[in-house]
Every structure is written in C-alpha cells, then in structure tokens.
Amino acid sequence: MGKKSRRKGEKKARMPYVARTFEGLPGELDLVAMREFVPSATATLTLADGGREIQMCSLLPGNGAGLVRPDGQIWVGLQVLHNHGDISRDLAGIVETALELEPGQPVPVRDPGVGPRLQDIVDTSAPFEVAVHDGFDFWLEGVDASDQARALLDQANGSAAPTTKLDGVDGAYWTEMGERRFLRWVQPHDEGTLLDALARLHSAGEDELGDGVRLIGMFRAHGLLVPVWETDGDAASLEEPAVAFKARLDGALADDSPLTGEQRDARNGLANRQLTIR
C-alpha cells in the first residue's frame, strides 16, 4: 500500500475524554450552569496571550458555536451539541478558529483534534463574573439587525425561563418554570464525599432551605453533582438560607466518621433520585 493510501485511512487524533472538563478555570461552577441550564447569561474569559477578552455566552443566535462580532469581539456559545472527548478543548478550538476570522463571521462546529484546552489559553487568575439576562436582547446590541434577526430574538426571548443567580454562594441559580420554582446549585466537591455529607444532613433533617423548600434530587454535569431544591419563594428568599446551608454542608463534609445505617439509607435514596430539569 502506498503512502497516499495509508494517509487516506488514518484517523484524526482525538482528545481523551475528560469528565470534569472545566476544572481549573475561573468560574468552573458557573460555566457548568451556563452550559447546562441557565438560559441567558454572559461572562468574560481573558486570553493569557495578549489579554484579549472572550465573551462566553450560554446561547448564541441560531445555537451557533461562536462568532466574531462586527467590532471584532469574539463570542463563544456554551450550549452547543459538540463533544469530541474534551469540551474544554472543543471550546478552545472555537476560540482558535475565531482568532483567524474576519469580523462578522460565524465559527463552525468542528472536531478541533488534539491541542490546547481553555485552561491552557486563558488567564486563570482573571475574575469570572456572570451577568444573567432576562432574555437575549444583548445579541443585537451595537448591530443593525434585520427583520429576520429580530424575529429570531423574539422567539428566543419567549423561551427563556426567568433565572436569578444567588449572590451569597457560588454556583446557585433560582429559576421559574411554569408554576414551579427550583434552585439548582452546582457543587465543587467529589461526588462520593458530597453524597455522604448530604446523607448526614438529610438524616438529621438539615438539608432543607427553609420552610417548604425541599431537596428533591440531583443530577450530574461535567463531573460535578447539582442538587435541586423546589421552592415556593423567589431568589431573594433563598439567599440567607443558602449561606446557612453551606455552613452546615461544610461541617458535614469535614465529618469523616462512618455513616450510620440511617445515613446509608439516606445516601442510597439520594443517589437514586436523579433528575432532569431543563
């Protein structure tokens, strides 16, 4: 077989799978939330080489992977169906492509192959501050939008569930979906250790966030657990209870004694209550 034939059959090298893909980035918990369930939010990452700012967006027009704005600013969409082994590499590949494009161009979804991850190209010491938006009006700021673009904006705005980021703790987002309200709180801890701690609190009746605010389950996202509470109140009513819960959780995380029988039962119950709330 000739060299040309061998090259034709070769497969492109792929990045190895990484479960906790945003670990080591500023705002890891918020990046998980923005990718998985926050409908409209933005935050800025700063490139280590040159200090250029990249705007991370929960969602872009047309569910795009990225775009170069007319003013040259690079926007990256997080809620995109791509996963070539390491989502952090996928996103870094979008940035790499965008840096080569002219203003006004979209960034296509592609397999970026082996290469640097976001952790390798951004300044991990820079702050990561999330702005949660009521809708997607920011898409059209500073551009001369067509009627088609405005119609797309109206459609997107109509699908965005009201969402608020809690101020007192990291990674917690209140949302209203129809007649129900939830708090989804991304946790940075090892799954097994966190389940043990939640089991201790649950068996002691200390896993609620106030009267009528109950833990209903959790789901996994990017190597982390996201407990979910259902509530009748608004986001402001959860601020102080969330801070108090974090203090109780920290105490339970520090307890390395063996679980009691009741706590083991509680742990099994929590592990089996996997949710999908979008």
Digit-coded pLDDT (tens) for 93-108: 999 999 999 998 999 8
Number of domains in the chain: 2
Let me know if residue 5 belongs to a domain. Answer: no
Residue 90 lies in a domain: yes
pLDDT band at 141 (very low <50, low <70, confident <90, very high): confident
Considering the domain architecture, whether residues 42 and 153 belong to the same structural domain is answered as: yes
Q: Which residue has the higher pLDDT, 152 or 186?
A: 186
123 and 83 within one domain = yes
Residues 238 and 189 in one domain: yes
Q: Indicate if 171 and 263 belong to the same structural domain.
A: yes
Mean pLDDT of 150-155: 88
Asked if residue 155 and residue 48 are part of one domain, the reply reads: yes
Distance separating alpha carbons of residues 89 and 116, to the nearest angstrom? 6
| Residue numbers of the domain that contains 205 | 163-272
Q: Are residues 88 and 153 in the same domain?
A: yes
66: Cα within 13 Å, side-chain hemisphere: 28
Query: What is the pLDDT confidence band of residue 75, given thresholds at 50, 70 and 90?
Result: very high
The model's pLDDT over 196-255, given as tens digits with 9 standing for 90+, comes to 999 999 999 999 898 889 899 899 999 999 999 999 999 999 999 999 999 999 999 999
Provide the pLDDT confidence category of residue 277 given band limits of 50, 70 and 90: very low
Considering the domain boundaries, does residue 3 fall inside one?
Answer: no
Q: What per-residue confidence (pLDDT) applies to 4?
A: 52
Prediction pTM value:
0.91
